[in-house]
Amino acid sequence: MSFKKIKKWVSALTTYLLFAVLIVLAVVVVTSKASGGEPEIAGYQLKTVLSGSMEPGIQTGSLIAVKPDGDMKRFKDGDVITFMDAEEKLITHRITEVVTSGEQVMYRTKGDNNNAVDLEPVLSDNVVAEYTGFTIPYLGYLVNFAQSKNGAFLLLIPGIMLLFYSGITIWRTLAEIEKQNKKNNEKLEESQSLSS
């Protein structure tokens, strides 16, 4: 492979990567701002897992998709739910037991990696969503960072780099077109001088 081909390949790869990062981060930031802090795509909320209580199935720093709609009394043993605890923290754990008392439904929950069940049962009213089984390891760290003030500022860098790179590419392309036009004009003048 020649140096020019490698340079061209690296250039194209850099452009695609910068563009992909810019689009993903823009979608995350816009959807999180539009939905009041939680990124949402097609009715699924994206949550960042900040503890290892559900490892190895859900790793710390993973981004998971949860479905917030529906009857929160429908769950059964083995389902994984996201709920608000007494300290108003979101937790995603597995149901180990369903407890019903009249109209009231409560769930005993446990993190897969925890030794014991959670101390307090979860009221169905405190269930926020159901875990869908979709997880992307480590992407949650990036989403958390993107939602911070420093992260939002630093995420402008790929956009600025892409604009700068696009400007250089456009400038080079215009210079190449001008060079080609100059060659064509010289050939045209040469052929006209030969024919006269």
Beta bridge partners of 94: 80, 110
Q: Which residues carry out catalysis? A: 51
Could you report the per-residue pLDDT of 174-190, keeping only the tens digit for each? Answer: 888 888 888 888 877 77
Beta bridge partners of 90: 84
Which pLDDT tens digit goes with each residue over 146-173? 666 676 666 667 667 777 777 787 788 8
> Which of the four pLDDT bands, split at 50, 70 and 90, describes residue 30?
low
Q: What is the DSSP string of 69-120?
A: -S-TT---TT-EEEEE-TTS-EEEEEEEEEEEETTEEEEEEE-TT-SS--SS
